[in-house]
Structure 1
Amino acid sequence: MKKNHPFHLVTSSPWPILTSINIFTMLMGLIMWMTKKELTLMIMGTSLTAICSIVWWRDMMRESTFQGNHTIKVISGIKLGMIMFIISEVMFFISLFWSFLHSSLSPSIEIGMNWPPKSIKTFNPMEIPLLNTIILLSSGATITWSHYSMLDNKLSKAKKSLMMTIIMGIYFTILQKWEYDQAMFTISDSIYGSMFFISTGFHGIHVIIGTTFLLVNFIRMKNLHFSSTHHLGFESAAWYWHFVDVVWLFLYLMVYWWGK
């Protein structure tokens, strides 16, 4: 049907409600795993969430790439939405930084008026944390390289640099998991343990989401879905990855270096 406006009226889709239910199932399974060491519900919820995400992405790719529904006006709205989403994520991490700084600048009597608490053996900021910082800052450089290569119509270079970014994101996650295994304290060890694992853990989740975001865009890039003038999905992924980079820089300075 012909329309006389530049907007995209999205058709009815079952994926938002199904994805919400599956994420709820995954989180309930996570609680079951942490309390009763039962993995079945979490595996089921994670698998169903992945399936719904794939078919939802498929529908969005069809709308933008093949049906031409992402007009200039629609792209402008999506960009604004992405900016607002990243701002909301920044506010979330600011609340974590605020809590960490409040506890470190004015340690309460319950933790011996000392920061970090005496029972906590912190990580050396010049070891794995520094390596992770170098990895993420390098990945910020490679995603920028990929973006500029895309703008210059150099698809081969764009794919190579994007794959380098994905590999560094996976490497960061592996090192973060290894660091958690070496920790001499847990999330229940005073305010320091709680804030350390909540702040670095949520950042780790964002790295995993960002890596997945980039991987989907790499697949789309291989399938020639992007051009130098139309690559909104890739641009949004690059913005998100830069946000992840900057947040880690603050985490490193505040939690690992300042909090030591």
Structure 2
Amino acid sequence: MSTTTHDAPSAGSYYVPHSSPWPIIGSVGLFVTMMGGANLLNGHAPTLLYCGLAVLIVMMIGWFNNVIRESQAGLYSPQMDRSFRWGMSWFIFSEVMFFAAFFGALFYARDYALPWLDGTSASKPMTHELLWPTFEERWPTNGPGRVGGPFEVMGPWGLPALNTLILLSSGATVTWAHWGLLKGNRRQLCLGLAATVGLGFLFVALQAVEYSHAYQHMNLTLGSGIYGSTFFMLTGFHGAHVTIGAIMLTVMLLRSLAGHFTPEHHFAFEAAAWYWHFVDVVWLGLFVFVYWF
């Protein structure tokens, strides 16, 4: 699609793009990825998973490239801008609900299931005697069946505390970059984004080190009962979101270096920044409720 300058669209106009192959390609990629992930969990080779992820990557590059070209061509009106903002807001809300489900599972296990199994819950007095009369309530736990064997608990200090500092610092650097953009200071914008991207990928690298230590030295795995499963599901999905956010900010950095964005028109940057702040907030919840308490 041509990137030549067009007349600015009127406030009430709405750009309707040409037919696109990307939605169906993305659907196929998601389906293949899901099937590949299920096969991997059942002991099969990860080939199908990698194929699905490759299709998703191609889809994202192609689709986002189209959107960037349309934006740079001046095809989007203020109404389109409002559409994008509402779309991103609802997307982040869906992500909030996604993590709320996993936090809910964690709280349910700790505050309801354990007292039932321990016999301290007045509402379930017989559960303890009938099922596990020797079980005593204690968190973290791998359950009365000691699923996965003995394990060590991942404490809050050390790498988790360092990663908290890194992620909070990245929230400050992306805000600093935004201030630079609003002032028309492209150097501050690019430096702030570069720092944020570096901190984001450093977080992911340190989380990989933490996972390696957990598996090799603490016998803390995804199979370590309810504690292991909730720990890795919550921190793992968060790590995936950090990776996605860092990739988004990398694209914003490359676009900023290419001269894209103005103080008046920069929603793509704002969307990535919103997402990054969401990731920061989720991590604070993880640090408190998964690592600390």
TM above 0.5, yes or no, is yes
Which one of 40, 46, 49 corresponds to residue 39 of structure 1? 46
Match of 2:93 in 1: 87
The residue type equivalent to 1:84 in the other structure is W
Q: Does 2:175 align with 1:175?
A: no
Q: CA deviation at 1:155?
A: 0.5
Q: How many residue pairs align between the two structures? A: 256
Match of 2:195 in 1: 164
Match of 2:103 in 1: 97
Match of 2:153 in 1: 122
Highest RCO, 1 vs 2 (Cα 8 Å, sep ≥ 6):
1
Match of 1:247 in 2: 282
Q: Does 2:25 align with 1:18?
A: yes
Query: d(CA) in 2 for partners of 1:208 and 1:164?
Result: 15
Q: CA deviation at 1:255?
A: 0.3
Q: CA deviation at 1:166?
A: 0.6
Q: Does 2:231 align with 1:196?
A: yes
Which range is displaced more, 160-169 or 7-16?
7-16
Q: CA deviation at 1:34?
A: 4.2
Secondary structure of the equivalent of 1:238? helix
The residue type equivalent to 2:242 in the other structure is V
Query: d(CA) in 2 for partners of 1:38 and 1:190?
Result: 25
CA RMSD of aligned residues (A): 1.9
Q: CA deviation at 1:113?
A: 2.1
Query: d(CA) in 1 for partners of 2:262 and 2:233?
Result: 39
Query: d(CA) in 2 for partners of 1:218 and 1:50?
Result: 19
What TM-score do you get using the length of structure 2 for normalisation?
0.82
The residue type equivalent to 1:170 in the other structure is F
Match of 1:149 in 2: 180
Larger radius of gyration: 2
Query: d(CA) in 1 for partners of 2:24 and 2:48?
Result: 19
Which range is displaced more, 41-50 or 87-96?
41-50
Query: d(CA) in 1 for partners of 2:235 and 2:82?
Result: 33
The residue type equivalent to 2:92 in the other structure is I
